[in-house]
A and B are shown apart, each in its own frame.
Chain A
Amino acid sequence: MITEIAPAPGRAAAEPARPRGRRRRAWDQVPRWQIYLPLSLYLLFTLIPFYWILLFALRPAGSTSLVPWPLTFEHFEKVWIDRSFGVYFRNSVLVGVSTLVLTTLVALAGGYALARFDFRAKRGFMLALLCSQFVPGALLLVPLFQIFASLKMINSLGSVIIAETVFQLPLSMILISGFIRNVPPSLEEAAWVDGCGRLAAFRIVVLPLLRPGLVAVGSFAFVHAWNHFLFALMFLSEQGKQTIPVGLNTLMSADSVDLGALAAGGIVAAVPVVIVFAFIQKWLITGFSAGAVKG
């Protein structure tokens, strides 16, 4: 059976008439189940691992039940208190938020310079920024370690924040410069005419228009810093300084894994990222699509 979906009356009146070609008609005539069935299957495929994690986190150790019943929070209690995830969580928040703030501020300054000024080494600088993206973090571990050691910054969250910021900056700067280029310079010039200085014009006129870009860059920096394992593992030693990804790894020993605790730890690690994405997804999509147009 083919179902015709009539457009909602209000919407039909508000929208201008669009040419409905043969392809468009064919698309509208596709039975709904042909759309929803594959989407549901895909969703099922994607969500089963998440269900598996929830199941292991919420059912008692040793249970083989396929539903999390009887419900228990023993694994969460174990990771949060016994395995110090409360401390790791606090450290990860500190690293993530600091990286976000630092990356956004420096990328704004650098991106503005790239978008608004012409200088001799601009092309070379852009090329260097792009090339730096090809260098894996692991390659720079030893020099970074030596530098932080000489600065007495080993075992300090500052070393991880700086390293994360450094690795986030090139892409962030390129993205931000694209957003700034999309803001007509005449807007800033009008603000200058009205008596604003460059900084005030940027703050009052340009900055509000960059919100999608800032959200995109900031969230990208936060999520990357939140999930990154290597720098935290190498630069931090004291247990009270370690972050969530390192904590998650310590739940797996050489010969034994507590799957309930691992699943609970995974949920603790994932929840902030999911919340961040839930709040910012609107700006994120706008931000990435707008920033991707020009580089």
Chain B
Amino acid sequence: MKSSIRISRRAAVAVALGSVLALTATACGDDGTEGGNGAEGSGKGEITFWDNNGGVRTDIWKQIIADFEREYPDITVHYVGIPAASAQSKYDTAIQGGGLPDVGGVGTAMLAGLAAQGALEPLDDRLADSPLHGHLSENLLQVSKAAGGGDALYQIPTSANNGTLWYRTDLFRKAGLDAPTTWSRFYEAAEKLTDPGRNAFGFTIRGGEGSIAPALDAVYGQTGITSFWNGDKTTVNDPRNVKALEKYVALYKKNTPSADVNNDFTKMVAQWDSGTIGMLSHNLGSYQDHLKALGKDKFRGIPNPTLEDGRRVQVSNPVDGLSLFRTSKNKAAAWKFIEFAASHEENSKFNESAGQVPANTDAAKDAWIQSSEPTRLAAEALNGGSTTIVQLPYYLPDWNTISKADNEPNFQKLLLGKITAKQFLDTLADQLNKAQAEWKQRKG
């Protein structure tokens, strides 16, 4: 009896431990890393495409894929929609763990990181031999190349976004104000449209996640400084920029809701769409939200205000595009898909749906752009001679950390008056200068 109890005890312990260890064993195991340089492939078969803005763009991508599969019946594209906020981590995990796609949607903000990890295939030669050559915006190609580190082209641009000043035409009309086309008109309108007693404000400022780029846009736009670098040092803490930032953040609480300190774009857009706020600085991406909430007659979207002399200076906005992954086993088919998606007809279709500026120069001339005022004005601003773009250093591998984790909390401190504009910009400049020096050293 005693021995049978002992045996059954042992058996029970063994079964219990075995089952637990079998499951916990998944936390330590073999190396399944998918590495290597992939292969050109036959140009037929299956490819996988990761959409870095899945959900909202799913329908249009599925249309493009259907068109592609009609054109190339021997290639099948597997679509994977990834939530925009998680795209970077999904790519990073796949780089480490394997399972990268053949083609992926990659914005300039994550291009440097992916290129630095050796995940992307250079596309310069493929583009030179492609029918796309000469039909993509040179400006955007330059941005793409610079964002990938400057040595090679790692992204075929598909769309450009642009900083847009959305304003409520009904409120402006009522107050007898002109459109905020210059910075002085912008500040005047912010002041006149504010009436805290009626919960009406002239402007809503982005104080939470994503606050740094809009703040820099406002700063460079007001001072007219046209370059982010002066030699090896950034111009971000130039005394003129400090003064401009002081003026901009002084709007907080005076002409903006006090809750703006926590504004990410979601809150900011929702607040503007449902309240009585005169102006909102965002990009073209929120056009459909405004249209649904306000109807087409109550608002307009114009490029950032100009200086009094008519010059417009703005910081570069992220450029979205498609990249070919080095580990692809079917690069020929993957490239055909990229070429097809960036072609005149498909690029036009995509950008009309997304409300963005097409990278394909033929698509940029299509009729729909003329009827979509914010996109048309953005396209004119991007390609017009009076606009100077200050290129933000997306190529720095540390850019995302510096512009998000390191300095977004500081911007909130600045809004709350806990640090000065000079302290904020000096800290930012110090980090950028170090990152730039490190990047140059690494590049040799």
Task: Identify the A interface with B (CB < 8 A).
Answer: 61-62, 64, 83, 106, 109-110, 112-114, 116-117, 119, 125, 132, 140-150, 154, 162-163, 165-166, 169, 173, 198, 233-234, 237-239, 246-247, 249-259
Contacts and interface: CB of A to CB of B under 8 A. Distances in A.
B85 interface: yes
A50 to B, nearest CB: 17
A254 B53 contact: yes
Main secondary structure of the interface of A (DSSP, over half): helix
B16 A146 contact: no
Given A147-B26, A258-B289, A142 B80 contact: no
Give the bracket for the number of chain B residues in contact with chain A: 35 or more
Interface stretch (B96-104, B111-119, B130-138, B182-190): B96-104
B33 A109 contact: no
A246 B83 contact: yes
Contact of A109 (B15, B55, B89): B15
Contacts, number: 158
Given A62-B294, A119-B13, A258-B289, A132 B84 contact: no
Contacts of A259: 266, 270
B38 interface: no
A166 B24 contact: yes
Given A143-B29, A237-B50, 9 more contacts: A144-B26, A233-B86, A234-B93, A237-B48, A250-B54, A251-B55, A254-B107, A254-B285, A256-B269
Contacts of B34: 149
A114 B265 CA distance: 51
Contact of A140 (B27, B30, B292): B27
Contacts of A237: 48, 50, 78, 80
Among B20, B24, B86, B293, find the residue whose CB has the most chain A CB atoms closer than 10 A: B20
Nearest to A153: B26
Given A237-B80, A257-B266, A113 B97 contact: no
B97 A149 contact: yes
Contacts of A251: 55-56
Given A109-B15, A173-B20, A255-B286, A238 B83 contact: no
A253 B53 contact: yes
B16 A109 contact: yes
B21 to A, nearest CB: 10
B264 to A, nearest CB: 10
B90 to A, nearest CB: 6
Contacts of B98: 145-146, 149
Contact of A146 (B54, B83, B97): B97
B93 A141 contact: yes
Contact of A239 (B80, B90, B93): B80
Given A198-B12, A250-B81, A142 B93 contact: yes
B310 to A, nearest CB: 28
30 contacts: A62-B294, A62-B295, A64-B274, A110-B19, A141-B97, A143-B27, A144-B26, A145-B96, A145-B97, A146-B30, A147-B30, A148-B26, A149-B98, A149-B99, A150-B32, A162-B26, A198-B8, A234-B93, A237-B78, A237-B80, A249-B85, A250-B58, A252-B55, A252-B83, A252-B85, A254-B53, A254-B84, A256-B56, A257-B269, A258-B56
B325 to A, nearest CB: 14
Contacts of A234: 90, 93
A238 B79 CA distance: 7
B26 A163 contact: yes
A119 B9 CA distance: 10
Contacts of A238: 78, 80
Contact of B12 (A62, A113, A125): A113
A250 B292 contact: no
B427 interface: no
A110 B285 contact: no
In the A-B complex, list the 4 residue pairs whose CB atoms are closest, starting with the nearest.
A255-B285, A250-B55, A145-B97, A249-B83
A252 B292 CA distance: 16
B55 A112 contact: no
A66 B288 CA distance: 22
B126 interface: no
B24 to A, nearest CB: 6
